[in-house]
Amino acid sequence: MQYKKILTIQDISCVGQCSLTVALPILSAAGMETCILPSAVLSTHTAGFTGFTVRDLTDDIPGIAAHWKKEGIGFEAVYTGYLGSTQQIEYVKSIMETLLVPGGLKIVDPAMADNGKLYPAFDAEYVEAMKTLAFTADIILPNITEACFLTGVEYRESYDEKYINTLLDRLAESGAGTVVLTGVGYRDGKTGVVVAKGSDRSYYEHKKIAKGCHGTGDVYASAFVGALMNGMSAYDSAKLAADYTVRTIEVTQDDPTHWYGVKFEAVLPEFIRMLGK
């Protein structure tokens, strides 16, 4: 298999098992040459920690991208996670247009909302900017809340398959390519993922672990990208990523001292085996 080079753009929390500290090892374990572009550096993530430090790196992004372009560096895929501002979204769009090799993939996790609400740092202007990135991507990985903000569909905690299909229809009408919609559950104790391209839809259901863990969205997206770049279909990649993410929660949930993330490293060997390596 071709040795592929992928760029992931998101923040780096030095402690906390999320964003780049998740993406880099998972994508590397998947056999990718993983290049990173940190959008910000935080001492820890912001969920549960207090007094954390933040250094915004927005102003550094254009110079880094210009240097890569000068050196003739290109990427088979650009995968984005949490982006801290509308300006960063604009820079990401430029990087995708100039540094992807022919046929390279634009993969966007529109990490901006959950449980019916935007993250505190974001507003309606950010949502509009994210639409311009998400709807020009080849693949997006929203949760239900993010899909609602992207489409203007009212968020519901209780829903049926008709509601989910409405969300997917609106995303397709807006220009979305392949949609990997996470956190879709129709039965108690179950959740899952819908993979949709136009009217073609497939659903994978798996068990739902009641106790959530910070960073699992990043684990999921990174595992999905790693599988996809190994030649798996979008559906098979979504299924593998779900199974791996569940395992990371299972090995973490009985450790009350590890409240800030999941022990994804402990099951990286399983992830590698899932990929057939």
Domain presence at residue 10: yes
Domain presence at residue 277: no
Report the pLDDT value the prediction gives residue 214, as an integer from 0 to 100. Answer: 85
Report the pLDDT value the prediction gives residue 1, as an integer from 0 to 100. Answer: 58
Q: How many helices (H) and strands (E) does the chain have?
A: 9, 11
Domain presence at residue 118: yes
Domain presence at residue 269: no
Domain span including residue 81: 5-264
Please return the burial class of 154, using the count of CB atoms within 10 Å of its CB with bins 0-12, 13-18 and 19+: exposed
Neighbour count for residue 275 (Cβ, 10 Å): 19
Domain presence at residue 32: yes
Report the pLDDT value the prediction gives residue 149, as an integer from 0 to 100. Answer: 98
Domain presence at residue 236: yes
Predicted model pTM? 0.96
From first to last of the 277 residues of the chain, give the pLDDT tens digit. 578 999 999 999 999 999 999 999 999 999 999 999 999 999 999 888 999 999 999 999 999 999 999 999 999 999 999 999 999 999 999 999 999 999 999 999 999 999 999 998 899 999 999 999 999 999 999 999 999 999 999 999 999 999 999 999 999 999 999 999 999 999 998 999 999 998 899 999 998 887 778 889 999 999 999 999 999 999 999 999 999 999 999 999 989 999 999 999 999 999 999 999 8
Give CA–CA dist 19/206, Å, rounded. Answer: 24
Give CA–CA dist 128/135, Å, rounded. Answer: 11
Domain presence at residue 258: yes
CB 143 within 8 A of CB 201: no
Report the pLDDT value the prediction gives residue 199, as an integer from 0 to 100. Answer: 87
CB 215 within 8 A of CB 209: no
Please return the burial class of 153, using the count of CB atoms within 10 Å of its CB with bins 0-12, 13-18 and 19+: middle
Q: How many domains does the chain have?
A: 1
Report the pLDDT value the prediction gives residue 3, as an integer from 0 to 100. Answer: 87
Report the pLDDT value the prediction gives residue 83, as an integer from 0 to 100. Answer: 96
Rg of the chain's alpha carbons, rounded to an integer? Answer: 18
Domain presence at residue 104: yes
CATH of the domain at 138: 3.40.1190.20
